[in-house]
Amino acid sequence: MSAIFLKRFLQRPFQVASIIPSSRTLIRRVTGKMDFSQPRVIAEYGPGEGCHTREIVRRMHPDSSLILFELDPEFAQHLEEQFRGDSRVTVLNSDAALLCQELTKRGLNHCDYIVSGIPFSILEPEKKRELLRSTYDSLAPHDHSAFIIYQVTNELVGHCGHFPRRESEYCLQNLPPMFVTKFYKTANGHAHGLNGHSRNGNGNH
């Protein structure tokens, strides 16, 4: 699975942002922050070759929906081929900023979870703000609803003050090591499978 990842990294290093897919440990940390016991609407930004996607699909409830936003056309085609037989999965070769419109198209009001591995640090400030606001608006107003990111730096925390609560941990078992941060839509969210430190939106434990 890593051949296509390496190829696209060499062709588009700033968009792909990593030379190898995520480790099994990082994938478990990310998916462990979601409750799959009920039908959920999930979106993933920048799934790449699908290493996190495969685990999400494996754990998802039969009545869940997963919408993938992948800008790279070759990755998008690769994802289409992987999940062609699963009606729960929709692959879109388009910008994650269109999430609200895509939910409306499908008669869906909100997402329960939004997962992202895209390198927010390279986005233009205005683009970053728009995407974060759209992400927040697209999440259901439920205690479990959350935006889950894995990033090399945790700089995005400084741009997510509109999320009332967050939890973050550092995954050393990945190359490169990653911060995994869960931003809750409401102040009363509860963690699912968190192994690291908890921190709320104002920085207090």
Identify the pLDDT of residue 202.
38
User: What is the arithmetic mean of pLDDT over 90-116?
Assistant: 97
Average pLDDT over residues 24-36: 97
Instruction: Examine the pLDDT at 92 and tell me if it is beyond 80.
Output: yes
Closest Cα to residue 109, out of 65, 53, 149, 147? 65
pLDDT, mean over the chain: 86
Cis peptide before 21 (omega within 30 of 0): no
Could you give the C-alpha distances from 169 to 9, 57, 77, 159, 200, in angstroms and in order?
26, 23, 32, 18, 13
Rounded to an integer, what distance in angstroms lies between the CA atom of residue 138 and that of residue 118?
Answer: 18
pLDDT at 200: 41
pLDDT of residue 21: 81
Q: 8-28: per-residue pLDDT in tens?
A: 444 454 444 555 789 999 999
List of domains in the chain: 2-200 (3.40.50.150)
Q: Which positions ≥6 away from 20 have C-beta within 8 Å?
A: 2, 5, 6, 175
Nearest CA to 27 out of 171, 135, 195, 139 is that of: 171
Q: Cβ(182)–Cβ(166) under 8 Å? A: yes
Give the span between the Cα atoms of 44 and 36, in whole angstroms: 15
